[in-house]
Amino acid sequence: MKLLTICLAFVAAVFAAQDTPDYEGYHVVYVIPDTEHQVEWLMQLEGKDGIDFLKSTRKVGVAAEIIIPKEQVSSSYKLFSMLEMRYFTVTENAAADLKRNFLMRNDKPRVFDINDFNTFEDILAGLDDFVARCPSGASCTLEDIGNSPQGRPIRLLKITKPGTRKIVWFDSAIHAREWLAPATNLKLLDAIISQQDSNAVSLFNKYDFYFVIVMNPDGYVYSWQDFTTRFWRKNRSPNVGSSCVGTDLNRNYDANWLNDGTSTNPCSDTYGGSSAASEVETQAVQNYLRNIGSNIISLTTIHTTAQMILIPYGHTDANGECAYPSDHQDQLAAANAFADGIENTFGTSWDRGTVCTTIYPASGATMDFAYDTAGIKYSFTPELRGPGFDPPASAIQPSFDEVWNGVVDLMAQIETLEGKQ
Ligand SMILES: [Zn+2]
């Protein structure tokens, strides 16, 4: 344990938070824990400011994916060796890989493509196309639930049928760089609009569907700006008294704000903002969910990358122990159905459990607000498959295939739990 503490202190000292790294000479490394002790070490390392995990791990034998700044490469490798941790280098110059991918994307004519990653503008155009393809007898409506500080819409697409029906909600891209999340979400939207799949028909016979593809428009646009901004996570609001920009919107909700797993340093990727719901993006979603929460049967807020289905809560109680909601048993049963449905598709392994116990304590997230304040009993955060490092477009289809199966099983399980047939 002493070695662990020394190593963590060492790492905290050598990894410095950088607001806009250039990624020249940065290594991307897979680190594979072989013991519970090593898993614990990696978990603690992930909580440190300035250490960028593209993929989390909580399991022996499952690799974490970390970006290491040039100056810290040799000391980090020494540290991994000292801890007898297996690692291998994915790239020795992240900038070169990111630049190549950026140029390839810029080479493509800009048009909405459901099988590729899309810019914010292309997603807005794509939403218009979906509205034009609305299933017969249904209504497809766009509604801006708010605007970002730079004036971009937080746009919601509602697919409804006449009458009062429960709502199934999906959102994504609150963390700008997690591009596989909006890409997968668009495929879910496409499945509902297309009505080609018998499960999609059956689900839409019962429920209305609401989709927000980009919860953090300014951050998402910034993540497309250049290869050096590809890994931007927060929004783009300036911070008073700091040259560092942005708040982690998924730490900014008025749900045990700043309780745990949130940084008070504006340069940190997990900076929680100046107060609960200080950000206009957060306020917009909070107000909207407060109004319609009682009609939402399930809310899924999609992230990457860890292969997990997370449920409330992220925060800890007065004793520093992970807090559990009173609905935990039902929520866990639903999460198990969701994760099993995913696993049964390609055999990928998915963890399931509360944020605090499964990944790390983290308060002020969309999901906890949705449950605690908007009254949405079934609120989930899937952490999708990898790879975390700028995934290729070929990751989109398998991600959708497995998540879709998970959603089908999830809704069946919720119906069983709520006593509906
Ligand atoms: Zn995320």
For residue range 144-153, list pLDDT tens digits in order. Answer: 999 999 999 9
Please identify, among 43, 73, 101, the residue that sits at the C-terminal boundary of a domain.
101
Cα angle 413, 289, 233 (rounded to 5 degrees) comes to 90
Distance 29 CA to ligand 1 centre (A): 19
The mean-pLDDT minimum among 187-201, 337-351, 365-379, 407-421 falls in: 407-421
Last residue of a domain, one of 101, 125, 145: 101
Q: What is the pLDDT of residue 7?
A: 56
Q: Which of 89, 399, 109, 101 is nearest to 229 (CA)?
A: 101
Domain shared by 282 and 326, yes or no: yes
**Residue 198 CA, ligand 1 centroid: distance in Å:** 31
Q: At what angle do helices 73-82 and 2-14 cross, to 10 degrees?
A: 170
Burial of 123-140, coded b for 16+ CB within 10 Å and e otherwise, reads bbebbeebbeeebeebeb
Residue 144 sits in the same domain as residue 275: yes
Q: State the first-to-last Cα distance of the chain, in angstroms, to the nearest integer.
A: 52
Out of 81, 101, 121, pick the residue that ends a domain: 101
Q: How far is the CA of 96 from the centre of ligand 1 (A)?
A: 24
Q: Report d(CA 309, CA 406) in Å as an integer.
A: 10
Among the listed residues 57, 75, 138, 155, the one whose alpha carbon sits nearest the alpha carbon of residue 360:
57
57-67 mean pLDDT: 91
Q: Which of 383, 255, 367 is nearest to 311 (CA)?
A: 367
16 pLDDT higher than 50: no
Is residue 367 domain-resident? yes
Q: How many domains does the chain have?
A: 2
Q: Are residues 126 and 268 in the same domain?
A: yes
Domain that holds residue 81: 2-101
Residue 370 belongs to some domain of the structure: yes
Q: Predicted confidence band at 319 (pLDDT cuts at 50, 70, 90)?
A: very high
**Ligand 1 centroid vs 294 CA: distance in angstroms?**
25
Mean of the pLDDT values across residues 46-53?
Answer: 75
**What phi and psi, each to the nearest 5 degrees, are found at residue 301?**
-110, 110
pLDDT of residue 260: 87
Considering 279, 281, 383, 402, which one is annotated as catalytic?
383
In a domain, 106, yes or no: no
CATH number at residue 169: 3.40.630.10
Stretch 223-239: mean pLDDT: 96
pLDDT at res. 3: 53
Residue 383 annotated among the catalytic residues of the structure = yes
Whether residues 119 and 214 fall in one domain: yes
With beta carbons less than 8 A apart as the criterion, state whether 365 and 255 touch.
Answer: yes
Both 254 and 388 in one domain: the answer is yes
- Is pLDDT at 333 greater than 70 in this prediction? yes
Residue 94 to residue 389: CA distance in whole angstroms? 9
For ligand 1, the distance from its centroid to the CA atom of residue 175, given in whole angstroms, is 5
243 with 133, same domain: the answer is: yes
